[in-house]
Amino acid sequence: LTFTPSGTIQVTNGSLRHVLFSLQDSTGVNNQVVNFTSSNPAIATVTPASCTVSSGTGEQSSCVLKIQGLQNGSVSISAASN
């Protein structure tokens, strides 16, 4: 799993950043729901809160996240799945 860009995301009040979340070098992933959270939702929110990804030709293996800045600062976006 990768985020592009990776690392800490700098935001300002009213800014909007796009981050690509994608599967890398994976096989056997089928309709995996991945949930996303911001380390500090008072500074920035992330949408969508989740996306479904699969590996394989013709499958959705990535999604674009929107990071909306509410205050100046930095946040980390986390991905989790069961």
Please report, as a single letter, which amino acid is at residue 4.
Answer: T
Each residue of 43-61: pLDDT tens digit?
A: 999 999 999 998 877 777 8
Each residue of 10-49: pLDDT tens digit?
A: 889 999 999 999 887 777 888 889 999 999 999 999 999 9
Residue with tokens 């070098």: 25
Torsion of CA 46, 47, 50, 56, to 10 degrees: -110
Structure tokens at 9: 């995301």
Alpha-carbon distance of 38 to 23, in angstroms, equals 20
Alpha-carbon distance of 53 to 50, in angstroms, equals 10
